[in-house]
Chains A and B, each alone.
Chain A
Amino acid sequence: MILRPQPQDIKNIGYYSGKIIIGIGLTMLVPVVIALLFAEINPALDFLIGTEIALIIGFLLTRLCFTENDLNWMQGMVVVSFSWLAAMLLGAVPLYLSGHWQSYLDACFEVMSGLTTTGLTLVQDLDHLSYAHNLWRHFAPFIGGQGIVIVALSLFMKGVSGAFKMYVGEARDERLLPNVIRTSRFIWLVSIVYLIASTLVLGIVGIANGMKTANAFFHGACIFMAAFDTAGFAPQSQNILYYHSLFFEVITIVIMLLGAMNFNLHYHLWTGNRREIWKNIETRTLCITLFVTFLIILIGLSEVGSYPCAVVMFRKGFYQLISGHTTTGYMTIYARQFINEWGNLALVGIICAMAFGGGTCSTAGGVKMLRLGIIAKALQQDLRRIILPDLAVVEQRLHHIKEMFLEDRQVRSALLITLAYLALYGIGALVGMLYGYPFLESLFESTSAAANVGLSCGITTPGMPAGLKLTYIVQMWSGRLEFMSVFTLIGFFIAAIKGR
């Protein structure tokens, strides 16, 4: 029997969603400041309208649904998945008002792509977009990558119990510090320290490459936000190709790898446990999958003979690979070059890398390194069981922050989420094929959307069918939240309609 949600459920969900919506509204003030600094009046008004709508809805929800009760697990999950949809709808308002997006759906696609740190884009005439709108495109991943709920937790939340349920709902099941609010603040500390350092370095490289000072630092900040949050947006339509700089590319590779690292790992490295980086199952798995997929790509590219020089192979082949594996989506080639120059084997290599993804509790998407490591360890354990005598006790250890024994529930959970991701990649590919795109191209784009990567082989354009845009939006959303809170929201609506 399904139970219909009670009024108290609706009140709790409304109240906490309202708080998060207020947070989203306030974040839209950052582009207002940039607009005023660059004397962009119309963009400033676009963002003020967006802020106003968000604040009105947020305050209405917190007033009408005021409660002092804590969230239970179901409510926490619903708040998270609902807040992400609300953030998309509200964050799209200023973008749509700019006139650079063909429709409101396109603007929603862009914001969902940003918040989920994907990086697929439907913007038109990007090179003439205002600084404020461009900053918002890059700021969205910075909010979404750390977590919309993390933003709200850091700023407003006091009820620790309810806060933890929302934190978990946002696909972060590792608490770095005993208090979840202190955990959120540490995540922001890491992001802001790297923001300052990387903006300085990228800005200086930009100036050395002949950019104007203000522009160089603006580009540096934007590129950092999109690289560290594994989003892949760039201020110019040619993406990283625009800078034509090996140094710039190497720095962005470093930032992408830092962004794909687990925040729990950052915490342990920053507090003196530096050996963890060589022992951790995630960093080891990343090294193995990275070089295995690189070898596949290398063989594939050598077969077609597209990049005969070692430096070009590194700048074109390895760069796209690291960008795909860390789920960033930065490109130093044009989208159609994947189809015209890469060949099928190299494409399969990069699709695998995108599907694998980065670290858990990081800004990256995909299946994640910890799950792949656990599945590999489980396989190893089963093989040892077969080889060793029947009476032998076979225990499998793994190291993730601490030494632990592999448990069946960990393996089951890792396999379930992996299967869910594979299904999501497949469904997107199927929809693409229904719209007439070839299999490999559809699978490439679908994996890119569902694993929150952002590499494109040319399907994602403003002219693609609306049904495909909606499919990719759902893929980005459910891939980023790792299914559980999305399933809970769907279950909540079914219970509201069919429950007793």
Chain B
Amino acid sequence: MKMKSFYNAVFGIATEVLYAIAIILTAFLICLAAYFLKL
């Protein structure tokens, strides 16, 4: 039971970090697109 709680917490943290990284990558892609499209 304790191990399950521990894994849940670890995967929960990983999900949060992935969400943040997804936002960062999208923002960077938008910057690249703006640069190449000479927005």
A interface with B by C-beta (< 8 Å): 193, 197, 250, 253-254, 257-258, 261, 266, 269-272, 274, 277, 283, 287, 290-291, 294-295, 298-299, 302, 308-311, 313-314, 317-318, 322
Given contacts A254-B21, A283-B19, A299-B39, contact A314 B28 (CB under 8 A): yes
Taking residues whose C-beta sits less than 8 angstroms from the other chain, chain B's interface range is: 20 to 34
* Beta-carbon contact of A277 and B15 below 8 Å: yes
* Beta-carbon contact of B34 and A313 below 8 Å: yes
* Beta-carbon contact of B19 and A291 below 8 Å: no
Closest B residue to A269 using CB positions: B12
* Beta-carbon contact of A277 and B30 below 8 Å: no
* Beta-carbon contact of A302 and B39 below 8 Å: yes
- Chain B nearest CB from A444 CB (Å) reads 22
Cα(A367)–Cα(B30), bound, Å: 26
* Beta-carbon contact of A270 and B8 below 8 Å: yes
* Beta-carbon contact of B23 and A258 below 8 Å: no
Cα(A75)–Cα(B23), bound, Å: 42
- Chain A nearest CB from B19 CB (Å) reads 5
- 26 A-B contacts, Cβ less than 8 Å apart? A193-B9, A193-B13, A197-B13, A253-B24, A254-B17, A254-B20, A266-B12, A266-B16, A269-B13, A269-B16, A270-B9, A270-B12, A271-B9, A272-B11, A283-B19, A291-B30, A294-B27, A298-B31, A298-B39, A299-B39, A302-B39, A308-B35, A311-B31, A314-B27, A314-B31, A322-B23
* Beta-carbon contact of A318 and B16 below 8 Å: no
Given contacts A253-B24, A298-B30, A314-B27, contact A271 B35 (CB under 8 A): no
- Chain B nearest CB from A41 CB (Å) reads 40
The residue that B13 contacts in the complex, of A257, A270, A272, with Cβ under 8 A, is: A270
- Chain A nearest CB from B32 CB (Å) reads 5
* Beta-carbon contact of A253 and B20 below 8 Å: yes
B interface with A by C-beta (< 8 Å): 5, 8-9, 11-13, 15-17, 19-21, 23-24, 26-28, 30-32, 34-35, 39
In the A-B complex, the 9 residue pairs with the smallest Cβ-Cβ separation, listed nearest first, are A270-B12, A269-B12, A310-B35, A257-B20, A254-B20, A310-B31, A272-B8, A314-B31, A313-B31
Chain B residues whose CB sits within 8 angstroms of the CB of A193 once the complex forms = 9, 13
Does more than half of chain A's interface fall in helix, strand or loop, or is it mixed?
A: helix
- Chain B nearest CB from A342 CB (Å) reads 16
Cα(A258)–Cα(B27), bound, Å: 17
Given contacts A298-B34, A310-B35, contact A271 B20 (CB under 8 A): no
Closest B residue to A256 using CB positions: B20
Closest B residue to A290 using CB positions: B23
What 17 additional pairs, Cβ within 8 angstroms, besides A277-B15, A314-B28? A254-B20, A257-B23, A258-B20, A261-B16, A266-B12, A269-B12, A270-B12, A270-B13, A274-B15, A291-B26, A298-B30, A298-B31, A299-B39, A311-B31, A313-B31, A317-B31, A318-B28
A-B contact count (CB 8 A): 76
Given contacts A250-B24, A254-B24, A257-B20, contact A294 B30 (CB under 8 A): yes
The residue that A271 contacts in the complex, of B8, B17, B39, with Cβ under 8 A, is: B8
Chain B residues whose CB sits within 8 angstroms of the CB of A266 once the complex forms = 12, 16
Cα(A54)–Cα(B17), bound, Å: 39
Cα(A192)–Cα(B19), bound, Å: 20
Given contacts A254-B17, A294-B27, contact A309 B35 (CB under 8 A): yes
Closest B residue to A318 using CB positions: B27
- Chain A nearest CB from B9 CB (Å) reads 5
* Beta-carbon contact of A310 and B34 below 8 Å: yes
Closest A residue to B4 using CB positions: A272
Chain B residues whose CB sits within 8 angstroms of the CB of A309 once the complex forms = 35
Chain A residues whose CB sits within 8 angstroms of the CB of B13 once the complex forms = 193, 197, 269-270
* Beta-carbon contact of B19 and A277 below 8 Å: yes
Cα(A317)–Cα(B26), bound, Å: 14
Chain B residues whose CB sits within 8 angstroms of the CB of A253 once the complex forms = 20, 24
Cα(A14)–Cα(B34), bound, Å: 58
Chain A residues whose CB sits within 8 angstroms of the CB of B16 once the complex forms = 258, 261, 266, 269, 277
Cα(A299)–Cα(B31), bound, Å: 11
- Chain B nearest CB from A155 CB (Å) reads 24
* Beta-carbon contact of B34 and A274 below 8 Å: no
The residue that A318 contacts in the complex, of B5, B11, B21, B31, with Cβ under 8 A, is: B31
Among the interface residues B11, B20, B24, which one has the most CB atoms of the partner chain A within 10 A?
Answer: B20
- Chain A nearest CB from B13 CB (Å) reads 7
Given contacts A193-B13, A294-B27, contact A313 B21 (CB under 8 A): no
* Beta-carbon contact of B35 and A274 below 8 Å: no
- Chain A nearest CB from B10 CB (Å) reads 9
- Chain A nearest CB from B29 CB (Å) reads 9
Chain A residues whose CB sits within 8 angstroms of the CB of B39 once the complex forms = 298-299, 302
Chain A residues whose CB sits within 8 angstroms of the CB of B21 once the complex forms = 254
Cα(A329)–Cα(B24), bound, Å: 17
- Chain A nearest CB from B3 CB (Å) reads 13
The residue that A257 contacts in the complex, of B19, B28, B32, with Cβ under 8 A, is: B19
Cα(A89)–Cα(B30), bound, Å: 46
